[in-house]
């Protein structure tokens, strides 16, 4: 299997290439394996290569590269995982990866479950366009927190749950079977959740890839601060993501509805169409909370994410408005300058 195939190249991707970069174009397919600032590595039929000027590319992208190594173009992304940059007033999205088929929400069994975090990560996962899975890690330690498995299954609300242990190598075959050939799995979970250990266990002793990167950066160190694709040997790849603290949402309305559909259904039952769902007459949400049918924590978790998205949108609108004003001012100023210029030319004649 050549390097490109190891990173998930299939006949389908080949077909997309011929469609987007038809015959007279001289370019070869490649997949972005790692995209740090200014240093982009891609898997191609010739092995791992450096790419120049791929600043807008993200890990997982399929690109067409010219023989000299520059990028001709990028295939449309089938999925995109992004979050809001922490503390970024300009509210720019941080793209974590593209063309991910499966998104593993990693929940470690060595600590109590954080239901809010699980919900938040599931919302982001649904929203990316990939299929979410919940992956429980450190099953060998699960006796300490007996109820986490059951609670996770209940809170995952129908999303498949896989139990693994990188220590005992339990559950790995099952998970590999689910990943399937030529699929891309990304792992999302808190720092220390066991993501790297799981990847190493899945890879077994086949992790030659790290060595290839080592040759590129000359430092000989593998860190979990970068996101990179790790091949599993059968064309499937896993994306290593650093532990994400505070996962702020980015345009996640779809995901919100997937995870909290039952709450949004309740809205239709409120007496008033414009119900604020605060303690007010005829609010179906408040009634459900009071009757114990809706967990108050879930309701507050939903509310918080909804407010977060609303404020994100307000900031986006302000930024857009400012952009429009600025470009209008620029156009107006250019027009004045042009007029001045014409006048001066006119006078000079
Ligand atoms: N007992 C046990 N310990 C595990 C298992 N998997 C990981 N660990 C331990 O948990 C700790 C964190 O594991 P990592 O794989 O580094 O976690 P990570 O999610 O990659 O963390 P970041 O790189 O910070 O995002 C390490 O001390 C591992 O040895 C497991 O299956 N069983
Ligand atoms: Zn209401």
Domains of the chain: 3-74 (2.40.50), 80-240 (3.40.50.300)
C-alpha span between 74 and 32 (Å, rounded) = 10
Could you tell me which residue, 328 or 190, shows the higher pLDDT?
190
Tell me: pLDDT of 83 over 80: no
- Lining ligand 1 with CB less than 6 A are 137-138, 140-141, 165-167, 189, 191-197, 224, 242-243
Determine if residue 277 is labeled as part of a ligand binding site. Answer: yes
C-alpha span between 123 and 205 (Å, rounded) = 34
pLDDT digits over 151-193, tens only? 999 999 889 999 999 999 999 999 999 999 999 999 988 888 8
> What is the pLDDT averaged over residues 306-332?
75
Determine if residue 301 is labeled as part of a ligand binding site. Answer: no
Tell me: pLDDT of 212 over 60: no
The CB-based long-range contact list for 13-22 (8 Å cut-off, 24+ gap) reads 13/62, 13/75, 16/62, 16/75, 17/62, 17/64, 17/75, 20/64, 20/73, 20/75, 20/76, 21/64, 21/72, 21/73
Q: Are 135 and 164 in contact (CB under 8 A)?
A: yes
Q: Which residues of 194-230 are buried (b: 16+ CB within 10 A; e: fewer)?
A: bbbbbbbbbbeeebebeeebeeeeeeeebeeebbbbb
Which one of 194, 225, 227, 246 would you pick to mutate in the ligand 1 pocket, going by the greatest count of ligand atoms within 8 A of its CB? 194
Q: Are 166 and 137 in contact (CB under 8 A)?
A: yes
> What is the pLDDT averaged over residues 84-107?
79
Place of tokens 């089938």: 78
Q: Are 62 and 99 in contact (CB under 8 A)?
A: yes
Beta strands in 259-326 (DSSP E): none
Residues 6+ apart with CB under 8 A from 72: 21, 25, 27, 63, 64, 65, 66
Q: What was the ipTM of the complex prediction?
A: 0.97
Tokens of 205: 């002793």
C-alpha span between 236 and 232 (Å, rounded) = 6
pLDDT digits over 98-112, tens only? 999 999 999 999 999
DSSP state, residue 52: B
pTM check: above 0.80: no
Place of tokens 């995952």: 156
Q: If you average pLDDT over every residue of the chain, what do you get? A: 83
The alpha carbon of 167 and the centre of ligand 1 are apart by a number of angstroms equal to 9
Q: Which of 78-82, 147-151, 183-187, 254-258 has the lowest mean pLDDT?
A: 254-258
How many separate helices (H) and strands (E) can be counted in the chain?
11, 13
pLDDT of residue 85: 63
pLDDT of residue 208: 38
């Amino acid at each position: 299997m050549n390097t490109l195939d190891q990173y998930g190249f299939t006949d389908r991707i080949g077909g997309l290439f011929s469609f987007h970069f038809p015959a007279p174009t001289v370019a070869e397919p490649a997949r972005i394996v790692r995209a740090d600032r200014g240093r982009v590595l891609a898997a191609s039929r010739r092995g791992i290569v450096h790419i120049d000027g791929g600043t807008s590319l993200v890990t997982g992208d399929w690109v067409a590269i010219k023989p000299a190594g520059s990028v001709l173009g990028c295939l449309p992304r089938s999925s995109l995982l992004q979050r809001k940059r922490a503390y970024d007033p300009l509210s720019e999205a941080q793209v974590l990866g593209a063309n991910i088929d499966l998104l593993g929400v990693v929940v470690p069994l060595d600590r109590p479950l954080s239901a809010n975090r699980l919900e938040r990560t599931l919302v982001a996962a649904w929203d990316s366009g990939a299929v979410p899975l919940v992956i429980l890690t450190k099953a060998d330690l699960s006796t300490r927190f007996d109820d986490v498995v059951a609670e996770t299954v209940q809170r995952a609300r129908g999303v498949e749950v896989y139990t693994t242990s990188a220590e005992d190598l339990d559950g790995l075959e099952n998970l590999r079977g689910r990943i399937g050939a030529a699929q891309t799995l990304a792992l999302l979970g808190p720092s220390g959740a066991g993501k790297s250990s799981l990847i190493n266990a899945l890879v077994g002793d086949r992790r030659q890839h790290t060595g290839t990167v080592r040759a590129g950066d000359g430092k000989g160190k593998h860190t979990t601060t970068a996101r990179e694709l790790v091949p599993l040997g059968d064309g499937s790849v896993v994306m290593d993501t650093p532990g994400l603290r505070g996962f702020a949402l980015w345009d996640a309305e779809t995901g919100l509805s997937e995870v909290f559909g039952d709450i949004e259904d309740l809205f239709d039952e409120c007496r008033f169409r414009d119900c604020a769902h605060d303690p007010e007459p005829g609010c179906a949400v408040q009634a459900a909370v009071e009757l114990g049918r809706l967990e108050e924590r879930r309701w507050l978790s939903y509310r918080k994410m909804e407010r977060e998205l609303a404020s994100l949108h307000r900031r986006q609108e302000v930024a857009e408005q400012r952009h429009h004003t600025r470009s209008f001012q620029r156009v107006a100023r250019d027009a004045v300058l042009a007029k001045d210029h014409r006048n001066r030319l006119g006078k000079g004649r």
